[in-house]
Amino acid sequence: MITQGIWKAAEISTQIDDYYCCRVFALSDAEITPANGYGSTPKEAQDNARLIAASPDLLKVCKGALEAATVKAKTYRESAEKQAEIVAQLEAAIANAE
């Protein structure tokens, strides 16, 4: 199960020996859950942290896309509306990961 809440990546990386670490946090009503993105450069650590933070949204959108691909819409209009919604969600999830 994925920790619920809004995931955010820190903007600053910390050097630890020969690698960098960028903190990632899941902010929920009850607690703050930390995680780390690691890399050989500050940018790589931050990119990895952003990808970790975006993973709950990416998983949700992928599940929605799979559902839409396997369930036939009742009408063409319904299908086109669902497709536009999924495309917008995919674009947002990808933008958060980059």
Q: What is the pLDDT of the chain when averaged over all its residues? A: 82
Report for 19-23, 71-75, 79-83: range of highest mean pLDDT: 19-23
Give per-residue pLDDT as tens, 11-37. Answer: 888 899 999 999 988 887 767 788 889
The pLDDT of residue 40 is above 90: yes
Q: Pick from 50, 41, 51, 54: which is nearest to 13 by CA?
A: 41
Burial class of residue 78, CB neighbours in 10 A (0-12, 13-18, 19+): exposed
Domain coordinates in residue numbering, the chain: 6-93
For residues 72 and 56, give the distance between their C-alpha atoms in angstroms, rounded to a whole number.
26
